[in-house]
Chains A and B, each alone.
Chain A
Amino acid sequence: MTSLAIRGDSLIKRFNSFTAVKDVSIAVKEGEFFGFLGPNGAGKTTTIRLLTGILPPDSGSVEIAGIDLFSHPLSAKMLMGVIPEHSTVYGDLTPVQNLNLVAKFYRMGTRERDERIRELIPRLGLSDHQKRPVRVFSKGMKQRVSIGCAILHRPKVLFLDEPTEGLDVQSRRLIIDIMRELRAEGTTIFLTTHNIEEASTLCQRVAIINKGSLIAVERPEILKHTFETIKSVQVSFSHDVPSRLLENEHVSRISLSGDKFILYTSNPDAVVKEIVYLADQEDLTITSLQISGPSLEEVFLHLTGGNE
Chain B
Amino acid sequence: MNISGLLSGVGAIAEKNIRIYYNKPPVFIFGLLFPLFLFFAFYLGRNIDLQTFLPGFLAMTLFFSASSVGPLITPWEKRDRTFERLLSYPVTLEIILLGDTVAGALFGFIITVIIIAGTVIFLPVSVAAPWVWCVATLLGVLAFASLGTLLASPASDTPSNIMMLSSLIRFPLIFISGIFIPLSSLAGVSFYLALLSPLTYLVDIFSLGMYGYSTLDPVTDCIVLLAWTVGLLLVSRTIQRRNLTKGL
Residues of A within 8 A of B (CB): 49, 52-55, 73-75, 77-78, 80, 82, 84, 86, 88-93, 97, 101-102, 104-107, 146, 149
Contact = CB atoms under 8 A, between A and B. Distances in A.
B90 interface: yes
Contact of A84 (B1, B81, B92): B81
Nearest to A78: B90
Contacts of B80: 88, 91
A42 to B, nearest CB: 18
A47 to B, nearest CB: 14
Contact of B90 (A86, A89, A105): A105
B240 to A, nearest CB: 13
B92 A73 contact: yes
Interface residues of B, number: 23
Nearest to A81: B88
Give the residue among B5, B16, B88, B245 with the most A Cβ atoms within 10 A: B88
Interface of B: 1, 5, 8-9, 11-12, 15-16, 19-20, 80-82, 84-85, 87-92, 245, 248
A101 B88 contact: no
A11 to B, nearest CB: 15
B87 A53 contact: yes
Contacts of B89: 77, 102, 105-106
A73 B90 contact: yes
B19 A53 contact: no
A305 to B, nearest CB: 28
Given A80-B88, A88-B82, A101-B12, 11 more contacts: A52-B88, A53-B87, A77-B88, A84-B81, A84-B88, A86-B81, A90-B16, A90-B82, A105-B12, A106-B89, A107-B5
A101 B91 CA distance: 13
Contacts of B5: 74, 107
B248 A54 contact: yes
Of all A-B residue pairs in the complex, the 5 with the closest CB atoms, nearest first, are A82-B88, A104-B12, A77-B90, A88-B85, A105-B89
A97 B15 CA distance: 11
A89 B85 contact: yes
Nearest to A107: B8
A74 B12 contact: no
A105 B245 contact: no
A104 B15 contact: yes
A97 B19 contact: yes
Contacts of A97: 19
Contacts of A91: 80
Contacts of A78: 90
A82 B19 contact: no
A186 to B, nearest CB: 21
Given A54-B245, A73-B90, A84 B12 contact: no
Given A74-B1, A105-B90, A84 B85 contact: yes
